[in-house]
């Protein structure tokens, strides 16, 4: 190499499993890596679930990129315990735009009384008028102000909503429309002060049934609860009872507990419940977004920068 010319970074060997796809191969190459066998690799991009993941990775593996944004099922395995020296990253934030758009759609459908309109088979204008609301001037609690939550906050701002952002640390969320940031341990203060709730927090033992009977009782009879996180964050039995009794206005769920939601479950028949089958992030959008995340994190790995969405084994996400 002529003197004075900058060194060209060498391509980094990266394995792809449990199977290879042209989309991810191109993403790895675009980030500065070379697709190789696991035994010769320094990193692994894993686009499958925990089943089939190697019990023991080769000693040369320094970093693993996982496909899922939520990693609670990985904590039920020995993967992290078996590889204490390996950096694991999730896809948290990679799918935020698609999921946030879905959350906004679900919230608007409830506020504008769309479920009842869809079910109607006659002109019931005067009956519907009192129930139709607006996001303008309404307070929306976004519980879990991470990637999805921040994207949703940006979408809510043009509608004139006031947002209470809830995150683990209470670190201020500096986005237009956010009137307050509340740490998770102060969440009980939020329920009586909000008009609607969107749940976008990670699923951990601490967040199981984050929204239960007591929390629902503090909301307004016109409040809508939207869940685009994991079904376990809401107590399903308590929610069904609250919907039946008119404790809240309604619920819109892209995730349920149990999931899939079985035929004949009360949530399918309640007029103030909207259920979508965990399709806020459909495959054709999800695969492209994951490829973008792989390219970015490979580029960061090649250049020695911190990766996006490093998994905190202690925190559980």
Return the active site residues.
230, 259, 278
| Strand-pair category, 250-253 with 224-227 | parallel
Phi, psi (degrees; rounded to nearest 5) at 88: -110, 135
Query: What tokens does 233 get?
Result: 């964050």
Burial of 130 (0-12, 13-18, 19+ CB in 10 A): exposed
- Interatomic CA distance for residues 113 and 250, integer angstroms: 9
Alpha-carbon distance of 257 to 280, in angstroms, equals 16
CA 313 to chain centre: 18
Give the integer Cα–Cα distance in Å for 158 and 219: 24
Of 221, 201, 174, which Cα lies nearest the Cα of 211? 201
Distance of alpha carbon 284 from alpha carbon 92, whole angstroms: 17
b/e 258-267 (16+ beta carbons within 10 angstroms → b): eeebeeebeb
Q: Burial level of 80, CB count in 10 A (0-12/13-18/19+)?
A: middle
* CA 118/CA 72 separation, integer angstroms: 36
């Amino acid at each position: 190499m002529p003197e004075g010319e900058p060194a060209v970074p060498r391509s980094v060997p990266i394995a792809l499993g449990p199977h290879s796809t042209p989309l991810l191969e191109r993403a790895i190459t675009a980030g500065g890596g070379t697709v190789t066998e696991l035994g010769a690799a320094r990193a692994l991009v894993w686009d499958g679930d925990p089943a089939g993941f190697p019990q023991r990775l080769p000693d040369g593996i320094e970093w693993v990129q996982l496909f899922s944004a939520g990693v609670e099922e990985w904590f039920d395995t020995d993967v992290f315990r078996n590889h204490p020296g390996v950096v694991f990253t999730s896809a948290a934030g990679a799918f935020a735009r698609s999921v946030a758009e879905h959350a906004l759609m679900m919230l608007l459908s409830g506020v504008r009384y769309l479920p009842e309109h869809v079910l109607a088979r006659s002109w019931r204008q005067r009956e519907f008028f009192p129930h139709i609301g607006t996001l303008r001037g309404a307070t929306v609690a976004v519980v879990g102000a991470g990637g999805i939550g921040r994207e949703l906050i940006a979408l809510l701002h043009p509608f004139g909503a006031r947002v209470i952002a809830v995150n683990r640390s209470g670190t201020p969320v500096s986005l237009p429309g956010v009137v307050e940031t509340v740490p998770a341990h102060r969440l009980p203060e939020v329920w009586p002060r909000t008009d609607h709730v969107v749940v976008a927090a990670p699923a951990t033992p601490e967040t199981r049934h984050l929204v239960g009977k007591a929390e629902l009782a503090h909301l307004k009879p016109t409040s809508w609860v939207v869940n685009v996180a994991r079904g376990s964050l809401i107590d399903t039995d308590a929610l069904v009872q609250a919907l039946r009794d008119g404790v809240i206005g309604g619920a819109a769920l892209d995730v349920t507990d149990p999931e899939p939601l079985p035929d004949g479950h009360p949530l399918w028949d309640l007029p103030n419940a909207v259920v979508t089958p965990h399709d806020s992030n459909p495959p054709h959008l999800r695969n492209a977004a994951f490829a973008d995340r792989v390219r970015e994190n490979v580029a960061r790995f090649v250049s020695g920068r911190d990766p996006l969405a490093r998994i905190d084994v202690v925190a559980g996400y």
